[in-house]
Structure 1
Amino acid sequence: MARFKENDLPKAKLDSNSLQKALRIFKYAKNHKWKFFLGLFFLLLTSATALAFPKLMGMLVDCVTNKDLGKANQVALGLMVILVLQAIFSFFRIYLFVNFTENSLSNIRFALYENLIKLPMSFFSQKRVGELNSRISADISQLQDTFTTTIAEFLRQLILIIGGFIILGNISPKLTFMMLAIVPLVAVAAVIFGRFIRKYGKKTQDKVAESQVIVEETLQGITNVKAFANEWYELQRYKNKITEIVKIAIKGGQYRGYFASFIILCLFGCVVAVVWYGITLTIKGEVEGVGDLISFILYTTFIGASFGGIAEMYAQIQKAVGATERVFELLDEVPEKINSSPNPIVEKIKGNVSFNTVSFSYPSRSEIAVLKDVSFEANFGQKIAIVGPSGAGKSTIASLLLRFYDIDNGEILIDGKSIYDFELENLRGNMSIVPQDVILFGGTIKENIAYGKPDASDAEIMEAARQANALNFIEGFPEKMETLVGERGIKLSGGQRQRIAIARALLKNPSILILDEATSSLDSESEKLVQEALEILMEGRTSFIIAHRLSTIRKADQILVLDGGKITEKGTHQELINLENGTYKNLSNLQFTNN
């Protein structure tokens, strides 16, 4: 399964178009927008108090020169007030931005999930679910970090830089020009150098991850390793990877050494140069006093630190804008149509089904016709079996019945009405499917059975389990109905999962039932129990049985033989077995001879 790290997130170019898309996030803030703007107000107050701090510190130092204790006490008190105000403003700024962000992202998460589960099957057939899930997780996380911290810090640093330069210009234009000539350049160089070193660190991490993959693969396949006596091969593979890690890590350490030397020499050298020039101007009388010099040095430090941080924050905002675009790409995907008709049918379906010259190609492979002019009828209560080689289009018929995809040509009628005239939820609510590979949800057995009818009573759930031949094994568990089935039902056997799925279908009480090779992967004993449950399930409803094992469909009212997307044979078991050189007869002879 693909996983995405924050560093892997692509950046978006910041322009009016991308920013306009990003600002759509405010639509999901709903009645929380005011918190963002109030947070900005507190951000301005925080920045203003931060800018006042160096000035007051300078004034405090000047009190030493003037030997003015009264003024020193006043300035010190003023500094404490500034610090208290800054603490209060910072609290409200952080609280309001977090509050705004969490509420907005909560609405986005829900809207995203709501839209995702309403998207058509054609969307999911072209997307990897694991990758989709990881991407959503990484993008939302990026938005969370950006709106909680990064935007506020970016604006704060920007205000400090602009405000700092204005104040510096008032203190000493000459000193400001000198500072402008060296400090920003060195700060930007430090950022670029630091980013280069982080990339090197990421290379080391990636190589370590690759070495862990080797360990994981070796231990998972330890039987094969020992059976082939290939311990030496795995050791060599691991040793080669570790050697690569050492080389990269040493190179990275070398660059970190260069970076430390750069910081000591250049960054602190800049501070020394600014201080020296400031003292020179003070001695010449071009700077009023020591206090102004101290203020200047503090403002220079603020600006240098802000330059160092703002470039990284800008990159984070670019990533956030890119993340926003990708989130809205998913939100803009068009959900499947609930109603294709202006007056959708919501009545209970009886179960008469008719395919009239239906042709279909999957959207992702439009050049390949999966079904070609398929026609057949299934009356209420009949059992219709569909057989044929793999890729013939058997499961596609089930998908079209459930309206997972729209047909290209022809028509599908249910109770004499077009399948597109029914409300989608009502249509699928009258159908149920028991697939070959049953996927259960990671809750209890009771919750999984009740998925067929969420408002079912305990008595109804118990009866469905009994009819599905599932009650005996359920009662054998200590927790009975409250037994946790594990992820995808991993704690249950294949036969047990099938019977839970049958119980779920029984509880739903559908008019049309689809059995997609429901017993093909079971052992003989499980197949017998499941087959008995299926016979009960099929009573009084139209059933479509997709099967490889022909022994399970001998009693079907009609058997359709699909080959190459066309129905090549149609009839009962006896009728088809009597066809000379028929596909069904050949398949039947092959299976029963082997048995």
Structure 2
Amino acid sequence: MAEQQHSERGTAKLGVLRAMLGFLKPYRWQVIGASVALICTAGITLSIGQGLRLLVDNGFSSNASEAALNQALVLFFALVLLLATGTFVRFYLVSWIGERVSADLRKAVFAHVVTLHPGFFESQLSGDIQSRITTDTSLLQTVIGSSVSIALRNALMFVGGLIWLFISNPKLTALVMLSVPLVIVPILVFGRRVRRLSRSSQDKIASVGSFVGEAVKNIKLLQAFNHQTLDRKAFDGHVEVAFDVAIVRIKQRAWLSTVVIVLVLGAVTGMLWVGGHDVLAGRISGGELAAFIFYAVMVAASVGAISEVYGDLQRAAGATERLLELLAAENRILPPAAPAHLPVPVRGDIDFRSVSFAYASRPEHPAISNVSLQVPAGSSLALVGSSGAGKSTLIDLLLRFYDVSDGAICFDGVDIRNLDPDELRANIAMVPQQPVLFTGSVADNIRYGRPDASDAEIASAAKAAFAHEFIERLPEGYQSFVGEGGVRLSGGQRQRVAIARAILADPKLLLLDEATSALDAESEYQVQQALERLMEGRTTVVIAHRLATVINVDRIAVLENGELVASGRHSELLVQSPLYARWASLQFDDANNQAASAASES
């Protein structure tokens, strides 16, 4: 088991490395430039040790001349200028690469996420996905643009410093080398723990973000139920859990730094003791000891710096794994290798042929069982049934958000599984029960139906949706900001903007999810007028919760527990379907009783 886990960790590391190399490949010249600058600055820094030796032996010794001192100082300052120039180039290029790779990775993840089938998001929190795209990529940018450079530079300084140490004094170097294994072991041990805890910490922070997003999005409901105190306590719990995990990670890093400092500087202290006695005995010069101390401190500092950034590198590895999980998420709804095409012109004929379907999360409970329905082009079909009957599932299958388990759905005689989903959906528009508006202007939301539409076409669609009048009264007309989710508009206004969007899309197939069920009488009348105009000449499938809204459709399909139990016109179903007749009796009798009661009170 342990060997298997070790193998899996090794495979994961290779996967992370390959992925990052793939994102770095387009910027190979910048990487080469940064590498050259890195090597040059490391070499110059190492050369300063020799400059220091010359300065002590030739410039500060009792028999040194003023000219020799000046020459040594000029050489030393020249090295400093070269080091500053190389550091500028290295810092700029490395930071640029970090920002560029982070941006590319963020775009790649988002581009992939928006193509994933809706079933993927049933098991993924939106806040967690947002955290991965924002927080994790920002962490990665910091590490690539800083920590990786620090680690590589200090690795070069470590190797170069050791080489100069051996050249300067092998005996003293042996003392320094004794500490190397003692330092590497804790780095490896603590590093594994830091990586594991970093991944856990990032997951906990994502949970905090999800909780905040959910609370802010539903702030009215939260306050309406006086849930502020309970939500504060729950949020405090999430934050404290994230804090506790972070503190454990910080302790591991703190112990790592402490152990490294004690071991490395302890070895340097021993080296100074031996070297000092050698200088007093005349076995080495003061300049040689100064250079040796310089390189020893450099090696010690390099090991310390590597141990510091090792934790950051482990955090970056955890962040990269989370991002790669999103990039590796499989899209189950893909276009076929050789997609078929809809006939021209597109008519909008729909045929459900013995369709069955079960959600992956509930495979033993079919959501749809052997449903067969035909919707001729230009006609209307209403889907009625109790909650969980399968109405919304049929709409999702028609949009090919999921693929049927058995049977087929045909659009103009073509199985939709043989179509490119983009071509299929280009001929469909949907008006949901709860209209979805995006942050932006009214015009932006209507143009969502057809991005290349002109302002005149947007206004024409709004007029057809009976929305033009109220839009014109807004402070900035069509450029008025609607707020997050359209919060600045009323329910009826949001619904008419959604209808205008569908009109602008000019679909052959229209999907309506009882768009008037949550509106007042005046708004319902206006929206109903807009819907009737939208339905003209189009195939329409309506999810109906109130039978009064679908009395005049061409056909009504009665669903119960995912099965089609009856179909026909309203008058026919009142006779043929006891279930439908009972619903009609409950709804229409209740409406008549309410009307009679209102008349008697007046």
1:224, CA displacement in angstroms?
Answer: 7.0
1:5 paired residue number: none
Contact 1:161 1:307 in 2 (8 A): yes
Change in CA separation of 1:193 and 1:290 when aligned onto 2, cut-off 3 Å: farther
Q: Distance in 2 between matches of 1:138 and 1:261?
A: 29
Q: Counterpart of 2:80? A: 83
Whole-angstrom distance in 2 between the partners of 1:327 and 1:265:
37
Q: Is the 8 A contact 1:446 1:461 kept in 2?
A: yes
| Pick aligned residue for 2:90 from 89, 93, 100 | 93
- Within 1, Cα distance between the matches of 2:514 and 2:234? 43
One-letter code of the match for 1:586? Answer: R
Which one of 244, 264, 288 corresponds to residue 292 of structure 1?
288
The count of corresponding residues between Structure 1 and Structure 2 is 571
Identity rate, percent:
36
How many angstroms does 1:501 deviate by? 0.4
Structure 1 counterpart of 2:407? 410
TM-score, length-normalised on structure 2?
A: 0.83
Partner of 2:3: none
- Secondary structure at 2:450 match in 1: coil
Q: CA 1:193 to 1:272, structure 2 compared with 1: closer, same or farther past 3 Å?
A: farther
Shift of 1:148: 1.5
Contact 2:516–2:527 under 8 Å retained in 1: yes
For the 8 Å contact 2:175–2:267, the answer to whether it is kept is no
CA distance in 2, matches of 1:415, 1:251: 61
* Equivalent residue number for residue 30 of structure 2: 35
Query: Quick one: structure 1 residues 20 and 269, their matched pair in 2 at CA, closer, same or farther if it must change by over 3 Å?
Result: closer
Distance 1:256 1:30, change over 3 A: closer
Residue 22, structure 1, aligned to residue 4, structure 2:
no
Q: Which residue of 2 aligns with 1:151?
A: 148
Distance 1:193 1:107, change over 3 A: closer
Instruction: Using the TM superposition, give the Cα deviation of residue 94 of structure 1 relative to its aligned residue in structure 2, in angstroms.
Output: 2.0
How far is the alpha carbon of 1:195 from its aligned partner?
12
Candidates 404, 419, 431, aligned match of 1:434: 431
CA distance in 1, matches of 2:11, 2:154: 22
**Equivalent residue letter for 2:367:** V
CA distance in 2, matches of 1:243, 1:418: 52
Shift, 1:53, TM fit: 1.3
Equivalent residues in 2 for 1:183-222, closer than 5 Å: 185=182
Q: Measure, in 2, the Cα distance between the counterparts of 1:54 and 1:420.
A: 70
Segment drifting more, 97-106 vs 493-502: 97-106
In structure 2, C-alpha distance between the alignment counterparts of 1:328 and 1:243, rounded to whole Å = 28
Are 1:169 and 2:174 matched, yes or no? no
1:120 and 1:404 in contact (8 A); partners too: yes
Contact 1:345/1:421 (<8 A) preserved: no
1:12/1:451 CA distance change after superposition, 3 Å:
farther
Are residue 314 (structure 1) and residue 310 (structure 2) matched? yes
Q: Distance in 1 between matches of 2:240 and 2:531?
A: 59
Corresponding residue SS for 1:364: coil
Residues 1:110 and 2:110 are matched in the alignment: no
Unaligned runs of 5+ in 2: 1-5, 592-602
1:252–1:504 CA distance, 2 compared to 1 (3 A): closer
Partner residue of 2:44 out of 36, 42, 49:
49
Three-state SS of the structure 2 residue aligned to 1:560 is strand
Mark the CA change 1:72 to 1:19 in structure 2 (over 3 Å): closer, same or farther. farther
Q: TM-score under structure 1 normalisation?
A: 0.84
1:67 to 2:58 alignment? no
Once residues 169 and 144 of structure 2 are traced to their aligned partners in structure 1, the CA distance between those partners, rounded to angstroms, is: 37
CA distance in 1: counterparts of 2:414 and 2:249, whole angstroms: 71
Distance 1:420 1:123 in 2: 19
Q: Contact 2:191 / 2:310 at 8 angstroms: preserved in 1?
A: no
Shift of 1:251: 13
Q: Which residue identity lines up with residue 592 of structure 1 in the other structure?
A: F
- 1:525 correspondence with 2:522: yes
The aligned counterpart of 1:119 is 116
How far apart are residue 498 of structure 1 and its match?
A: 0.7
CA spacing shift, 1:549–1:144, aligned 2, 3 Å: same
Q: Of the candidates 449, 456, 459, which is equivalent to residue 456 of structure 2?
A: 459
Aligned AA (2:314): Q
Q: Over the residues paired in the alignment, what is the CA RMSD in angstroms?
A: 4.4
Quote the residue 1:546 is aligned against.
543
- Alpha-carbon distance between aligned partners in 1 of 2:522 and 2:531, rounded to the nearest angstrom: 14
| 1:259–1:565 Cα change, 3 Å | closer
**1:279 is aligned to 2:292:** no
- Per the alignment, residue 300 of structure 2 pairs with 304
Alpha-carbon distance in structure 2 between the residues aligned to 1:363 and 1:20: 28
User: Structure 1 residues 102 and 240, CA, compared in 2 at 3 Å: closer, same or farther?
Assistant: closer
SS in 2 for 1:385: strand
2:513 to 509, 513, 516: 516
Residue 523 to residue 356, structure 1, CA distance change in 2 (3 Å): same
Q: Separation in 2 of the partners of 1:173 and 1:106? A: 48
Residue 132 of structure 1 corresponds to 129
Task: Tell me the equivalent position of 1:327.
Answer: 323
What SS does the corresponding residue of 1:351 show, helix, strand or coil? Answer: coil
8 Å Cα contact 1:187-1:304 kept in structure 2: no
The match for 2:138 among 129, 136, 141 is 141
In the alignment, is residue 591 of structure 1 matched against residue 596 of structure 2?
no
Moved more, 262-271 or 61-70: 262-271
| Gap change, CA 1:93 and 1:19, over 3 Å in 2 | farther
CA pair 224-482 structure 1, distance change in 2 beyond 3 A: closer
Between stretches 420-429 and 50-59, larger displacement belongs to 420-429
Aligned residue number for residue 380 of structure 1: 377
Native 8 Å contact 1:340 1:420 kept in 2? no
Contact 1:449-1:501 at 8 Å conserved across structures: yes
Q: Deviations over 1:209-251 (max 9, x none)?
A: 99x99xx99x99788779xxx99x999999999999xx99x99
Higher mean C-alpha displacement, 305-314 vs 373-382: 305-314
Tell me how far apart the structure 2 counterparts of residues 379 and 387 of structure 1 sit (CA, whole Å). 19
